Structure 1
Amino acid sequence: MSTKILIVDDDKEIRNLISVYLENEGIQTKQAEDALEALKLLDKEVFDLIILDIMMPKMDGIEACMKIREERHMPIIMLSAKSEDMDKIQGLASGADDYMAKPFNPLELIARVKSQLRRYKRYNAEADNDKSIIEIGDLKINTDTRQVWVGKKEVRLTPKEFDILELLVRNKGIVLSVSKIYEAVWKEDFFKSDNTVMVHITKIREKIEEDPKHPIYIKTVWGVGYKI
C-alpha cells in the first residue's frame, strides 16, 4: 500500500514544490489550499502524514491541528513563515510532531517526512503486535501463535480449548452462557443436554489453574455460564 501525504498551504507554489519532491520519492500527494478543505478531505480519504501551514485564511494551522488531533493520530509537520520560539512551541503544543520555518530546504523537509513516517509505522506495528498478546494476571495468551502461558510455563491447549479460552478472555468480565460459547466455537446450534462445553472448561482449568476446584481465572456463574 503506497504512502499518501496531504499538503495544506494557501500558497500554490509551495504546495506544488513539496508535491514534486515527495512524488519523486514515490509518495502520493493530495493538496488543499486551506484547512477547511483539508478537513473535508480527511473525512473522505486516509493519509499517512499531513504537512500543514500555520498562517492560512478561514482557519489557521493551529486550530486545524487541534481539530485533526481530536480523532486522528498520523504525523503532522507544521510550516510557518514565523521562526520565533513561541510560534514553534505553540505549533507543537497543538499536537504537531515537527515544525519547519519558511523558507525551508525541500530536501530537509523530505528527510523529516521520512523520519516521521518511519516512527509512525514502527509505532503502529508495535501496537498491532500488542493486540495479539492478552494478559490477565499470570495468564498470557498470544492470539496470533495460539500459545498460552501461566507464569513462565507454556501450556498446551487443544484447538477447541484455545478457542474457548480466547473467547472468554476477549470478553473479560462478561458472563457467557454455555449455549453462546458452544455456538461461537463449534459454529453449530446448541442442544440443552450437551455437556461438551463443561467438559472442555474442566480440561482448560486443569491446565491453567493452580487449583482447578478453586479457579481464579475461569469462574462459574451458576445458572448462567462462565466468565474470566
Structure 2
Amino acid sequence: MYKPKILVVEDDPAINNLIRTTLETQEYQYHTAQNGSGALMEVLSYKPDVVILDLGLPDMDGVSIIEKIRSWSSIPIIVVSARTEDQDKVEALDAGADDYLTKPFSIDEFLARLRAALRRSHAERTKTEEENSVYINGDLKIDFTAGCVYMNDAEIHLTPIEYKLLCLLAHNTGKVLTHNYILQEVWGNTLASDVPSLRVFMATLRKKVEKNPSAPKYIQTHIGVGYRMIRQ
C-alpha cells in the first residue's frame, strides 16, 4: 500500500517537533528541512506528495520557495506561518500555495488540511499514471500496461519487434530517430548491416498501422537518416 510522503520545511524547533510528532502518530512518512535551499533539494530528491512550508526561513523567503517549486511542479503546498496579515496570505496563495494555516493552529485542523491536500495529490498522481499508460495519436492507441495496440478501436496484432518499434516511435513522437538509435534501443546494436532488416520490420509495421502504407500517415521515413512518428 502506498504511503504518502510529506516534506516539512520549518526552522522553529518547537513547531517542527509538533508537526513531526503528529505525522509519526498518523504513520505518515516524512522528511524535514530547516531552510529554503534544503527544501528545494528535498523536493527534487525526495519527491514528496505534500510540502508543509513556513514562510520565515533563515536563507530565503517562503514565497520565493513557492515560486521556484511552481516553476517545475504542481505538488500541493500548505503554508504554516505566524504571519497573519491578509497581504501575506494573498502573496503566498498568488505565488502558488494551495492552503494557508496560521500559527498557532489545532492539530485537528492541521490534519484536515493535510488530508485535503493529499486527496488532491493522489488525484493528480492517478491522472498522470493513467495518461502515461495509454498513448493516443489520431486513430492509433497503445495501451502500454496491457501491451495492446488498436486502430479505430480494433485491436491489431504485432510481433514483439514490431511492438517495440512502435512504442519507441510513440515515446518520441515528433522526433527523428536515426537508424543507429533504433537498432541500439530495439536490438542492442548499431551495425549498419542490420539497417535492411530494420527497413523490413518497419515495412511490415506500416502495413498494420497505416491505411495506405505507400503514403504513410503515422510513420514518416527520413531517407538515409531514420524514422519519425507524426502527431495527428
Shift of 1:24: 0.1
Is 2:117 aligned against 1:120? no
Distance in structure 2 (CA, Å) of the matches to 1:13 and 1:183: 56
Is residue 44 of structure 2 the alignment partner of residue 49 of structure 1? no
Whole-angstrom CA distance in 2 between matches of 1:174 and 1:43: 27
- Where does residue 210 of structure 2 map in the other structure? 209
| More deviation, 5-14/39-48 | 39-48
Any conservation in 1 of the 2:219–2:228 contact (CA below 8 Å)? yes
Pairing of 1:38-117 with structure 2 (within 5 A): 38-39=39-40, 42=43, 45-117=46-118
Give the Cα separation in 2 of the matches to 1:113 and 1:123: 15
SS class of match (1:78): strand
Range with greater deviation from structure 2 (183-192 or 151-160): 183-192
Match of 1:146 in 2: 147
8 Å contact from structure 2 (residues 181, 190) kept in 1: no
- Aligned pair 1:9/2:41, yes or no? no
C-alpha distance in structure 1 between counterparts of 2:179 and 2:44, whole Å: 42
Shift in Å, 1:78:
0.6
1:173 equivalenced with 2:187 (yes/no): no
Residues 148-168 of structure 1: CA deviation (Å, up to 9, x unaligned): 122222222121111111222
Pairs aligned (count): 228
Instruction: Decide which structure has the larger Cα Rg and report it.
Output: 1
2:198 corresponds in structure 1 to 197
Give unmatched runs, 5+ long, in structure 1.
none
Distance in 1 of aligned mates of 2:193 and 2:37:
59
SS at structure 1 position matched to 2:193: coil
Consecutive unaligned residues of structure 2, counting only runs of 5 or more, are none
Whether the aligned pair in 2 keeps the contact of 1:6 and 1:32 (CA below 8 Å) is yes
CA separation in 1, counterparts of 2:195 and 2:42? Answer: 54
* Displacement after TM superposition at 1:4 (Å): 3.7
Question: 81-90 vs 151-160, which deviates more?
Answer: 81-90
Partner residue, 1:129: 130
Cα separation, 2, equivalents of 1:15 and 1:179: 54
Q: Please give the per-residue CA displacement for 1:25-74, whole angstroms capped at 9, x wherever unaligned.
A: 01234444444554465566443322122244543322232233334443
TM-score, normalising length: structure 2:
0.81
Structure 1, 37-46 or 114-123: larger mean CA deviation:
37-46
Alpha-carbon contact 1:12-1:33 (below 8 Å) kept? no
What is the TM-score normalised by the length of structure 1? 0.82
Q: Residue type matched to 2:138 in 1?
A: G
SS of 2:155 mapped into structure 1: strand
Q: In structure 2, what is the Cα distance between the partners aligned to 1:32 and 1:111?
A: 22
* Structure 1 residue ranges (4+ consecutive) displaced by more than 6 angstroms after TM superposition: none
Distance 2:127 2:67 in 1: 25
Corresponding position of 1:225: 226
